[in-house]
Structure 1
Amino acid sequence: MTSPAKFRKDKEIIAEYETQVKEIRAQLVEQLKCLDQQCELRVQLLQDLQDFFRKKAEIEMDYSRNLEKLAERFLAKTRSTKDHQFKKEQNVLSPVNCWNLLLTQVKRESRDHATLSDLYLNNIIPRFAQISEDSGRLFKKSKEVGLQLQEDLMKVLNELYTVMKTYHMYNSDSINAESKLKEAEKQEEKQMGRGARQEERQTPRSPDTLASVRMDDKPVRRSSVKKIEKMKEKRQAKYTENKLKAIKARNEYLLALEATNCCVFKYYVHDLSDLIDCCDLGYHASLHRALRTYLSAEFNLETSKHGGLETIENAAENLEAQADKQRLMETYNIIFCPPIRFDFQSHMGDQMGYVCAQQPLQGELLQRCQQLQSRLSTLRIENEEVKKTMEATLQTIQDMVTIEDFDVTDCFHHSNSMESVKSTVSESFMSKPSLAKRRANQQETEQFYFTKLKEFLEGRNLITKLQAKHDLIQKTLGESQKTDYCLASGRRNSTARKQESAQVIPLIVESCIRFISRHGLHHEGIFRVSGSQVEVNDIKNAFERGEDPLAGDQNDHDMDSIAGVLKLYFRGLENALFPKEVFHELMACVSMENLQDRATHIHKVLLSLPSNTLVIMRYLFAFLNHLSHYSEDNMMDPYNLAICFGPTLMSVPEGHDQVSCQAHVNELIKTIIIHHESIFPGSRDLEGPVYERVGATEEYCDSPHSEPPLVDEPAPDTVLDNHNSDDEIV
């Protein structure tokens, strides 16, 4: 029988799982609510734009005075919105930014023109109505896909719940069977002990009499012992059977657990991103076309307004779905971030939280791994074909919504009479007879795209689940091979080990710092201004291939992109450069008002870190200190550098106030930049490369890497192999 304590433990485990699932379910609901809010804001934004241009067309004849009133009207509407905080947060999105810039530009408009008024009424307003209709339709379809994905996710969670309960049930049966087996063993021992005591208590008798008594007692004891032995064998078989069932159930639970975690991660990291892409499909491009139509009319009507309109043009060019998606997910990161992984909830008495690959299960797992591999190969081929079809369809839709039909220069080549304007407008984009056919083709293509999208997402879901199970089984089966490999690798050549361990400063860090020290000390906004994401990725990929794209004296790279690569490297470390273990000790140092005392305490805390970590810190902060000396040119004093590097080098642990803690982190980084010489040990106390202050106009000496060095050249037996540096970082 299950004890009350074990029963309560089971209930607590189930309750904990249900609470976690409940939180995920609430998060899923909030995600759809957030997307609903986005749709409502978009519809409201488009409606505002239509009302705006309609009213603007009516008051064009009243010239600048009424135009100024119009701008104030819509600005006041924005300020007085009921959901002001939500509206304020949306200002970071590129469409909302365009709208705000447009209102500002209205104050600068000063001329009335019949052609401009006619274009507003018969071209721009219908475009916004079309965008609104398209956005609503696409959002509805996207929401259907989202609901299906969430339903599939909940099915996976329910499957995990069922497997977990089965595991607990079988494990409980195993424990009960083990208890009964122990009870039978005790009875056997008790019976054997009783027989021995009876023989000892027997009064000495004659040999004939004693033999007679023993002959009479022997059949009784033998029958009792055989009965107990038979019961013991039966219980032993039952225990073995139940134990095997429990192990199999645990394996299934662990496999389902891994698959569930992968599915949940895939949903939050990939599916949500794809879903937001679907909601934004064509919206930014269509809005870009409408705004470019307005800009074309304005530029041709009044050249003197060109300076003010350039601001709106830049905003229209920066309409970017991917950037808006990133801003949206960062603004509402709580509801879009993946939840914590599900942990293995071990049953009482079961401490083995991994898949068992011992006999007789090893052969079964091997066969299952091979079956999964075969199934995955087939699924990947099928899903890749679906993906190609989907991407081709998406490209077709993108081509439909990126037609450059916004130039209305020809409308201003005619007489300003109303008859001439109307005849010109009648030949415009919005009046072409083919419009209905084009829209029908667009909607049909959209429908086909969503069909393929659902098929692709469902296939990816299945691949994710099966791949998780396959990888876990394969990892389990390969543990013995891994052990053999580790033993063999432990006997590798000692010289090779020295060369590997000698590379303390990763190549990507050394090369980026060297490049910036040579060419970017005076670069304004270094580390603050974002570089080209394409170039950042190209440089990063080159380093990952073992190359050094910054070698030589060429200065053909964007300086902001180089700075972005350096920040990206430290931001991408699995563990931040400053470990979480010393977070509280370092934060305590910030409270010290005396800067020298603060630096001394920081020095003591950092001495507890590994030497290779200290070498990297010393190298980096010596460079940042050097860079701050040129703050009059680059505008990056220690405080500004700390703002850029604080979140990258030291993450705030969960459960802390992110805003206040980040301010303390920035203050700490600023202190280390200023007092780095007293905080970090010198070359005598800490062996390793040391950053040398080499200005942009100074010459470099030759280095073993055929590049200008920024470090002291080490002794011959500790030559750094920079090309293996990407793997040597704490």
Structure 2
Amino acid sequence: MTSPAKFRKDKEIVAEYETQVKEVRAQLVEQLKCLDQQCELRVQLLQDLQDFFRKKAEIEVDYSRNLEKLAERFLTKTRSTKDHLLKKEHSILSPVNCWNLLLLQVKRESRDHATLSDLYLNNIIPRFAQISEDSGRLFKKSKEVGVQLQEDLMKVLNELYTVMKTYHMYNTDSINAESKLKDAEKQEEKQMGRSGRQQDDRQTPRSPDTLTSIKTDEKPVRRSSVKKIEKMKEKRQAKYTENKLKAIKARNEYLLALEATNSCVFKYYIHDLSDIIDCCDLGYHASLQRALRTYLSAEQNVETSKHSGLETLEGAAESLEANGDKQKLMETYNNVFCPPARFDFQSHMGDTMGVMCAQQPLEVELLQRCQQLQSRLSTLKIENEEVKKTMEATLSTIQDMVTVEDYDVSECFHHSNSMESVKSTFSESYLSKPSLAKRRANQQETEQFYFTKLKEFLEGRNLITKLEAKHDLIDKTLEESQKTDCCLSSGRRNSAVRKQESGEAIPLMVKSCIRFISRHGLQHEGIFRVSGSQVEVNDIKNAFERGEDPLAGDQNDHDMDSIAGVLKLYFRGLDHALFPKEVFHDLISCVSMESLHERAVHIKKVLQSLPSKTLIIMRYLFAFLNHLSQYSEENMMDPYNLAICFGPTLMSVPEGNDQVSCQAHVNELIKTIIIHHNTIFPGLQDLQGPIYTIPGSRDDCCDSPHCEPPLVEEPAPETVSVRQNSEDVTVALTV
């Protein structure tokens, strides 16, 4: 029977799983709240814009003075808002940036009151009202899709819970059956011992009458008891075999469901959330751009002397871009939109085998199931691709509808010198009731069809993700089962390679560039952000490839931005990024952790699996970047700015993931590593190799009193071979 301690352990496992699911559910609720806040901010912004232009149209007497008061009114409102989230949005989103620039431009305006009043009342304000209505409608539909996806996700988590409980139940039955079998074996051994003692008694000389009595009494009893015990043992052996097989199958089903659940969770956070935000923003930025361009056209035709101020606002309107705002939003709320840590296998009752079992008789069953999954996936992918093409074509149609270039109002000013009342014929043509009703009906019908296809596509992609996860796990299990000997041999070879790599030093190109920048460029403004001379970059790179060190000595006759470009070019030219794609998802999952210390510990744990040579280069590079960030007041490169420069170079986003949302997480990850490099990377005692250090001040090695040149702590000299740009260059380095 199951002991009380094991029962308590089982309850703890279930409680831990329920806690993790509870955290995910809370995160899902916060996501919807966050999207609700975005909609409210958007509606409020559009309402402010409508109020602004309505007030502006009423100003005809003492225009400049009243216009200044109007601008100050809204600027003060923006500065004095008590809503923390609203302040956050005001600092990052491109529509809000346009709004702020518009208010600054208002202070410089002097306009034709009649024409502008007509345009404000009959053109721009109705546009904002239309945008507000469209945004509310699209947000409502997007939220419905989001709620449905969240329900599907929770359904997957509940299915995982059911499968886990089934696995626990069958494993418990298997343990109980094993215990009963052992009891039967003990009884059999005990009975066999009695038989032996009876045999000894027979060998003892006895009288004929006594011997006859013993044989008569003991023989039937012994044979009946032995047969009974043997039958009981056979029965319990069969029961144990049956329960053990059920437990193994249940564990396999649990592992399959676990893999599918993790894939669905990652897909939801990386793909689905991004798609939902795109739907919320559908047409909003383009429509707002059209309204602002209408205003710009009117201003440019009134007075050409205002071009400098209007060009600034036009640049802000051009920068209205949904993907950019989506990235900023996800960076601001990275704890909400970052995928959680993967669900780990929860072993039960000491069952530490956390992988699928492909032994007979399960191998044939798994192979058949793998083939069935492959066949179904092929059909589903073809169907979902067709749905995707239809959805993309519909989306293109909607984008064409909201990007119509109808913001030019120059015709309204052809007779602006006339004393007659100016009436905008453009406003009439754009907002005429028959034309507007037809266009809006067509747009709404297209939107409805798009959301239908979007739901169908997301559901299909969800099913494909689940089936692919199961198929890949089964396929991997079958391959590993068939190639065990080959894997063992390969493991020995990889171990030898890792030992060899652990003795290699920092590549000469990396070491020399970092040394040069540390001596002469710590205070260079825009280092790694400003591009250098491509000719000089190529010359320095070619010199390194020939085995030379063009940066040796204390000469400072090289362009600092070119040296920085050479260092970035080295890492960008590697066959494989410094951070392998295999650890991408594990590293990205830490961004959701609020505690920076917890992030650093998680990153350290993930990076432990990398080769020693890679860790040595990482340790050296990030120590240098941390040192460089300490001079951010002079060079304008704090850890986040450096992360933006090095993130795409050091860690590429795997194909099939949303580049915008993933890149925001990558930048946050690189920033964390720069700040906490001492916690993440092992010291010299744990990892032998070059280490970037900052010694005492040495004025003869540095042009700046703040600059301290890096040194390399060296345990022993030896010659190593460094591969650069696919060519072997033997360089004598002190390691």
Please, which moves more after superposition, 49-58 or 496-505? 496-505
Does the CA contact (< 8 Å) of 1:63 and 1:112 recur in 2? no
The alignment status of 1:161 with 2:161, answered yes or no, reads yes
Does the CA contact (< 8 Å) of 1:299 and 1:306 recur in 2? yes
Q: Counterparts in 2 of 1:294-693, with a 5 A limit?
A: 294-417=295-418, 419=420, 421-422=422-423, 424-431=425-432, 433-486=434-487, 525-528=526-529, 569=577, 574=583, 610=612, 613-614=615-616, 640=637, 644-645=641-642, 671=694, 675=708, 677-681=710-714, 684=717, 687=720
Please state how far the C-alpha of 1:407 moved relative to its aligned partner.
1.2
Does the CA contact (< 8 Å) of 2:626 and 2:674 recur in 1? no
The one-letter amino acid paired with 1:270 is: H
Structure 2: distance between partners of 1:102 and 1:469 = 54
Alpha carbons of 1:659 and 1:304: their partners in 2 closer, same or farther (altered >3 Å)?
A: same
Please state how far the C-alpha of 1:211 moved relative to its aligned partner.
4.9
Please state how far the C-alpha of 1:136 moved relative to its aligned partner.
0.4
| Root-mean-square deviation (Å) | 4.5
Partner SS for 1:434: helix
Structure 2: distance between partners of 1:660 and 1:479 = 36
Please state how far the C-alpha of 1:679 moved relative to its aligned partner.
3.3
Alpha carbons of 1:416 and 1:485: their partners in 2 closer, same or farther (altered >3 Å)?
A: farther
Structure 2: distance between partners of 1:418 and 1:567 = 68
Does the CA contact (< 8 Å) of 2:505 and 2:613 recur in 1? no
Does the CA contact (< 8 Å) of 2:643 and 2:671 recur in 1? no
The one-letter amino acid paired with 1:153 is: L
The one-letter amino acid paired with 2:526 is: G
Fraction of identical pairs, as percent = 74
Partner SS for 2:423: helix
Please, which moves more after superposition, 33-42 or 11-20? 11-20
Q: Deviations over 1:181-217 (max 9, x none)?
A: 1111111111222333345467631356425522431
The TM-score, its normalising length taken from structure 2, stands at 0.76
Q: Counterparts in 2 of 1:272-291, with a 5 A limit?
A: 272-291=273-292
Structure 1: distance between partners of 2:473 and 2:512 = 38
Please state how far the C-alpha of 1:438 moved relative to its aligned partner.
1.1
Alpha carbons of 1:282 and 1:642: their partners in 2 closer, same or farther (altered >3 Å)?
A: closer
Does the CA contact (< 8 Å) of 1:60 and 1:112 recur in 2? no
Does the CA contact (< 8 Å) of 1:344 and 1:353 recur in 2? yes
Please state how far the C-alpha of 1:618 moved relative to its aligned partner.
5.7
Structure 2: distance between partners of 1:110 and 1:27 = 50
Does the CA contact (< 8 Å) of 2:522 and 2:707 recur in 1? no
Please state how far the C-alpha of 1:505 moved relative to its aligned partner.
7.2
Alpha carbons of 1:18 and 1:456: their partners in 2 closer, same or farther (altered >3 Å)?
A: same
Partner SS for 1:687: strand
Structure 1: distance between partners of 2:464 and 2:512 = 40
Alpha carbons of 1:284 and 1:21: their partners in 2 closer, same or farther (altered >3 Å)?
A: same
Please state how far the C-alpha of 1:641 moved relative to its aligned partner.
7.1
Does the CA contact (< 8 Å) of 1:639 and 1:666 recur in 2? no
The alignment status of 1:128 with 2:128, answered yes or no, reads yes
Structure 1: gaps of 5 or more residues: 532-554, 577-582, 588-607, 652-656, 691-702, 719-730
Count of aligned residue pairs for this structure pair: 635
* Corresponding residue of 1:108: 108
Alpha carbons of 1:612 and 1:112: their partners in 2 closer, same or farther (altered >3 Å)?
A: closer
Alpha carbons of 1:145 and 1:510: their partners in 2 closer, same or farther (altered >3 Å)?
A: farther
Q: Deviations over 1:136-175 (max 9, x none)?
A: 0000000010011001101101110110111111111111
Structure 2: distance between partners of 1:296 and 1:484 = 74
Structure 1: distance between partners of 2:672 and 2:33 = 29
The one-letter amino acid paired with 1:301 is: V
Alpha carbons of 1:444 and 1:502: their partners in 2 closer, same or farther (altered >3 Å)?
A: farther
* Corresponding residue of 2:700: none
Does the CA contact (< 8 Å) of 2:27 and 2:336 recur in 1? yes
Alpha carbons of 1:428 and 1:271: their partners in 2 closer, same or farther (altered >3 Å)?
A: same
Please state how far the C-alpha of 1:238 moved relative to its aligned partner.
0.7
Alpha carbons of 1:94 and 1:666: their partners in 2 closer, same or farther (altered >3 Å)?
A: farther
* Corresponding residue of 1:62: 62
Structure 1: distance between partners of 2:725 and 2:529 = 33
Structure 1: distance between partners of 2:434 and 2:394 = 25
* Corresponding residue of 1:221: 222
Structure 2: gaps of 5 or more residues: 533-558, 588-595, 601-609, 652-668, 680-690, 696-705
* Corresponding residue of 2:138: 138
Structure 2: distance between partners of 1:449 and 1:561 = 45
Alpha carbons of 1:481 and 1:184: their partners in 2 closer, same or farther (altered >3 Å)?
A: closer
Alpha carbons of 1:242 and 1:488: their partners in 2 closer, same or farther (altered >3 Å)?
A: closer
Alpha carbons of 1:197 and 1:355: their partners in 2 closer, same or farther (altered >3 Å)?
A: same
The one-letter amino acid paired with 1:358 is: Q
The alignment status of 1:9 with 2:3, answered yes or no, reads no
Alpha carbons of 1:661 and 1:46: their partners in 2 closer, same or farther (altered >3 Å)?
A: same
Alpha carbons of 1:273 and 1:433: their partners in 2 closer, same or farther (altered >3 Å)?
A: same
Does the CA contact (< 8 Å) of 1:292 and 1:407 recur in 2? yes
The one-letter amino acid paired with 1:143 is: K
* Corresponding residue of 2:173: 173
Does the CA contact (< 8 Å) of 1:639 and 1:670 recur in 2? no
Structure 1: distance between partners of 2:498 and 2:119 = 74
Partner SS for 1:369: helix
Please, which moves more after superposition, 149-158 or 610-619? 610-619
